[in-house]
Amino acid sequence: MDYMELLSVLSRWLHVAAGILWIGLLYWFNFVNIPFAGTMDGDTKKKVVPELFPRALYFFRWGAAYTWLTGLILAALVFYHGGLMFDQGVEGWGVGSYVMVAITFLVFPGYDMLAKSFGKDIRVFGAIAFVLVAVMVYLMVTFGHFSYRAYVIHTGMMFGTLMAANVWMRIWPAQKKIIGAIKEGTAPDGTLAATAMQRSRHNTYMSVPLLWAMINYHTTTTVAVESWYYLLVVTAIGWIVVSLMYDKSAKVKGF
């Protein structure tokens, strides 16, 4: 029995299942709950929020954790161990590739600083983020010498790492305090609510290009080209779709 292949299959299965749980709840929070929450009065919130949100946030944060962990296992098996990081004829691991992999997983402090400085205006922050993503992809190709599949999946892992870090380090800590305040009948700290909302919104925008990266194996033969900017086009399209979904969610009404 090939135990490495079995581990790969099980990790892929768990990765997809956990990802569905995580991203599904992310969309529920942003496209369903946020518009609905605005219709609740104080007494209703005091009854509903302490019962509903801890349950939803439990599966939300652990879905994020297991998606990220199984994604890391898959990256190690398929790319680092499986030899798919570089195209044929490329020398292989070097300073550039190690640096780009390290940045992929250590980018949160830089993102966090930018989000605190420019995150209040989603358009300004989005423009800055798009430029930085373009630079990151360009460096993966030219400095890290990643293959098509490698730079797509590492861009996705960068998004996934930022999203998981947002869940555990910004959204969940803020929501615990918000839920506690609502349960006690006091007004939640507006700064905490703004942070949780901002990072959840950022995660929603990052989720669509992340999903593209997760299926990159199936895009290799259809859209793999020498021009790396196709990934940026997908990212831009994904962000436009999310913006349209936010507009639509504000217009959908209950009976």
What CA–CA distance (Å, rounded) separates 158 from 108? Answer: 9
Instruction: Give the phi and the psi of residue 90 in degrees, each rounded to 5.
Output: -85, 135
19: DSSP letter: H
- Cβ neighbours of residue 104 under 8 Å, at least 6 residues apart? 154, 157, 158, 161
User: Taking the complete model, does pTM exceed 0.85, yes or no?
Assistant: yes
Alpha helices per DSSP H over 41-147: 42-74, 95-106, 108-118, 122-142
Q: One digit per residue, pLDDT tens: the chain, 255 residues?
A: 577 888 888 999 999 999 999 999 999 999 999 999 888 888 888 899 999 999 999 999 999 999 999 999 999 998 998 888 998 888 889 999 999 999 999 999 999 999 999 988 899 999 999 999 999 999 999 999 999 889 999 999 999 999 999 999 999 999 999 999 998 888 888 899 999 999 999 999 999 999 988 887 666 555 555 567 788 988 999 999 999 999 999 999 888
pLDDT at 90: 84
pLDDT at 109: 96
Rg (CA), the chain: 20
Cβ atoms within 10 Å of 216's Cβ, excluding its own: 19
What CA–CA distance (Å, rounded) separates 44 from 113? Answer: 36
Question: C-alpha distances in angstroms, 182 versus 118, 121, 170, 172, 188?
Answer: 29, 27, 18, 15, 7
pLDDT at 218: 61
